[in-house]
Chain A
């Protein structure tokens, strides 16, 4: 197996993806993801310079409508499904870190 990515790469990816994973998990994921990237190297030698990327099966157009009030989700029902809500809003801990 080649070393396409290191444990440090995987730890960085986990941070970017906001996943708090253990050092043992970093090792395991590194091995697994490295194996996958090895397999994915099968497209490395394809001549793709003149190929247009395809992001969607069909070209997309923006969906627009008149700017008028329409029925929407019930506020209480939506907030009722949240882990924490207060005064009609979602409640979250402070980004700087204080008591919740």
Chain B
């Protein structure tokens, strides 16, 4: 764990009056002033609003009010979550300057819990990428080594926490976009069960895969934040009609008697330093009283193909709305079809265009069955594999990322090379299960390695119990 204050301790101190929310926010804004130019975690820093909000929280506490479980906690939001009246760009030129007319549900929930927003974080355009090099506004750098990427697509949110710009942050995870940057920046990152956290106000990439989740310095902070943002939302038709789970309370319970799955047929591709840390994690859990069991996931090696057909197909449909009519930017033309095509050509970056075309192709007449239809069947096989594995294991451990953070430009020449970064994170999204990455030591070049904990649908309790044990053993 880093030396920065956790959200849990900040909320405790602010609520008890030991520290003011104003002093906390100033401390974080000062770090932003010192390092943001170098790191570029943010598309927008909302200093004035943060100061105003912190002063309001202090005033309410002075009046004896309970301001909520995140009292005075500075938080950063990935810039694909709608904030009313505050620009939300998705790091795309097509939405540059757009101010949403409503808040995402998670934003309202965090506000009600007493959090202080410090800014909107950088991402790969429309969350398509694994290094944050695809942002229209320039890349984010890894705060631990600025010659390396922070991962992606939520690279700005991971870097903001790792650099101490915010105590916690939110990202979105469609194929690993929270867990992979968390691993590469040495912080905790959680993708909750699909449907546990409302997607209302999250700009859609691939609607059957997207899920919002937290970044934090500690497992306890991640549990706290998940509790705050989870729960049923009538505004999201895929929201699970159940109350938010209680997660902070399970953290001290240990893993005695738990069955931890080791994937016997893990797809190749992980570096030796990463696999060494995974082995160490199994040893730590065994020492803590868990049993290691071998599980098989034979369809896992096809997950990349299924994902890179399904996600672009959904994206090609979701991104059809950016047509220069209702929001965002427009390239003027004398007829509507030219206006659409010129607006989209000028507004979208290279990777977004590539995925829109791939998705359009996979869905087009004559190719639907061969590509999209087949990918949906492979998705079922992967889901079935997980169901069989979870009959024998409570959770499964894998690497989060096959490598530690890589240098800029290392994977930008060939899109497929970049896609392989997601090989261990993608299967969870296809199944809709929860998963999280916990820092567990370092690998090459002294860069952090993350271990990924996978659990079945609504298995967050088991997942967090294991995470807490790994955190104390790291």
Q: Is A68 interfacial (CB 8 A cutoff)?
A: no
Q: Is B378 interfacial (CB 8 A cutoff)?
A: yes
A residues near B287, Cβ cutoff 8 Å: none
- Closest A residue, CB atoms, query B359: A17
Q: Least Cβ distance of A46 to chain B in Å?
A: 7
Question: For A13, A15, A17, which residue has the most chain B Cβ atoms within 10 angstroms?
Answer: A17
A46 to B379: give the CA distance in the assembly, Å: 12
A residues near B358, Cβ cutoff 8 Å: 33, 36
**Pairwise interchain contact B237-A57, C-beta atoms closer than 8 A:** no
Q: Which of A61-100 contact B (CB under 8 A)?
A: 62-63, 65, 73-74, 77-78, 81-84, 90, 92-100
Q: Is B99 interfacial (CB 8 A cutoff)?
A: yes
**Pairwise interchain contact A33-B357, C-beta atoms closer than 8 A:** yes
B residues near A58, Cβ cutoff 8 Å: 194-195, 238, 240, 432, 457
- The A interface is mostly helix, strand or loop, or mixed, namely loop
**Pairwise interchain contact B360-A16, C-beta atoms closer than 8 A:** yes
A40 to B311: give the CA distance in the assembly, Å: 14
**Pairwise interchain contact B356-A94, C-beta atoms closer than 8 A:** no
A94 to B65: give the CA distance in the assembly, Å: 56
**Pairwise interchain contact A29-B357, C-beta atoms closer than 8 A:** yes
A82-B325 contact given A56-B208, A56-B238, A74-B101, CB 8 Å threshold: yes
- 9-residue interface stretch from B11-19, B146-154, B254-262, B328-336: B328-336
Question: For B101, B330, B348, which residue has the most chain A Cβ atoms within 10 angstroms?
Answer: B101
Q: Which of B422-454 contact A (CB under 8 A)?
A: 430-433
A55 to B344: give the CA distance in the assembly, Å: 27
Say which residue of A18, A21, A35, A57 sits within 8 Å of B340 (CB atoms): A18
A20 to B346: give the CA distance in the assembly, Å: 9
A11 to B302: give the CA distance in the assembly, Å: 29
**Pairwise interchain contact A83-B329, C-beta atoms closer than 8 A:** yes
- Closest A residue, CB atoms, query B195: A58
**Pairwise interchain contact A83-B335, C-beta atoms closer than 8 A:** no
**Pairwise interchain contact B309-A99, C-beta atoms closer than 8 A:** no
Say which residue of A32, A43, A92 sits within 8 Å of B305 (CB atoms): A43
B residues near A92, Cβ cutoff 8 Å: 325, 336, 339
- 9-residue interface stretch from B369-377, B404-412, B465-473: B369-377
**Pairwise interchain contact A19-B353, C-beta atoms closer than 8 A:** yes
Q: Least Cβ distance of A43 to chain B in Å?
A: 5
Q: Is B138 interfacial (CB 8 A cutoff)?
A: no
Contact surface of A with B, Cβ cutoff 8 Å = 5, 9-10, 13-21, 29, 32-33, 35-36, 39-40, 42-43, 46, 48, 51-58, 60, 62-63, 65, 73-74, 77-78, 81-84, 90, 92-100
Q: List 30 A-B contacts (CB under 8 A).
A: A16-B360, A17-B356, A17-B357, A18-B340, A19-B341, A20-B341, A20-B345, A33-B361, A39-B304, A43-B306, A43-B378, A46-B381, A51-B381, A56-B208, A57-B383, A57-B431, A57-B433, A58-B194, A58-B240, A63-B234, A73-B101, A82-B326, A83-B330, A84-B330, A90-B326, A92-B325, A93-B335, A93-B339, A97-B338, A100-B332
Nearest 6 CB-CB pairs, A to B?
A57-B432, A97-B335, A53-B376, A83-B330, A20-B341, A54-B380
